Amino acid sequence: MELRQLRERSGLSREEISEATGVNRTTLYRIEMAQAKPQLRTLRVLLDIYSVPESRQHELITMLRLAKEETWLEVASEDLPPQYATYIGLEHGAKAILNYETLFVPGLLQTEAYARTAIPGGLTDLHPEEVEKRVKARLARQARVPALPIYAIIDEAVLRRSIGGPAVMREQLQRLIDESKQPHVTLQVIPFTAGIHPGMYGSFVILQFPQDVRDVVYIETRTADLFLDGENSLQEYNVVFERLREIAASPAETRDTMAHMLADIK
């Protein structure tokens, strides 16, 4: 992400960088989207063309060397789809997460049983081993971000739809109630009575990063995942999220709603 921002500040396109350095344009894209690590030689060339001060060059080179060590991310995402692995990496570096969901409980708040049912999404062709890999990756994500600020807004449909049966939903609702009491978790539900709202176009996640690193909007689809970091996209989705916050029930009201629903599950 740092390399992407350095290139953008230089006013150069990937094509221009490729012509000037000989680094393949596809390789540049993969590096900037956290899908591949740059070789040390490549990193030095890029830092030179971006006129990065020597002290900062040293910091980034040190970062690359540390990144070569095997981490939980590489272990968890070894056999996962590349775009999902990219998202996990971005999530690991985020300072806060703004998550709006229309149909599923946010991944970081799911129970293991709920995740095991939700991940296949009703499809029967997803091999059980693949499901287990993704469940383990989801649990690893939860373990790695225990105090990450999470602002989650969910549609009431998320709570009403039975995923895995009554026992699974009882456990999941109790987990949401417990999580919502944590100081780093803000959970709100948009009731059906709110009528039409801007979140009805679909779920999305806004990954917020430390100062000087641009935020990213993540949108998951059936066939491809989208990573948006353009200023217009960021502004649009932040406006939508703020609007959803306004029309959603308060965290306290949301807890009361979930408690009543939990009591009603037979």
pLDDT digits over 159-186, tens only?
Answer: 999 999 999 999 999 999 999 999 999 9
Q: Which two tokens stand for residue 74?
A: 């590489």
For strands 204-208 and 225-228, give the pairing: unpaired
Q: Which two tokens stand for residue 179?
A: 């999580």
Phi (first) and psi of residue 220, to 5 degrees: -95, 130
Residue 108's CB is within 10 A of a number of other CB atoms, namely: 20
* Contact yes or no for 249/191 (Cβ under 8 A): yes
Q: Which residues contact 233 (CB under 8 A, 6 or more apart)?
A: 217
Q: Which two tokens stand for residue 101?
A: 């969901």
* Contact yes or no for 229/215 (Cβ under 8 A): yes
pTM beyond 0.85: no
pLDDT digits over 249-262, tens only?
Answer: 999 999 999 999 99
pLDDT digits over 195-230, tens only?
Answer: 999 999 999 999 998 776 789 999 998 777 888 888
* Residue 59, CB-side half-sphere exposure with 13 Å CA sphere: 7
Residue ranges of domains in the chain, CATH in brackets = 2-69 (1.10.260.40), 79-264 (3.30.870)
CA distances (Å), origin 3, targets 68, 73, 123, 127, 200: 17, 20, 39, 37, 35
157 pLDDT above the threshold of 70: yes
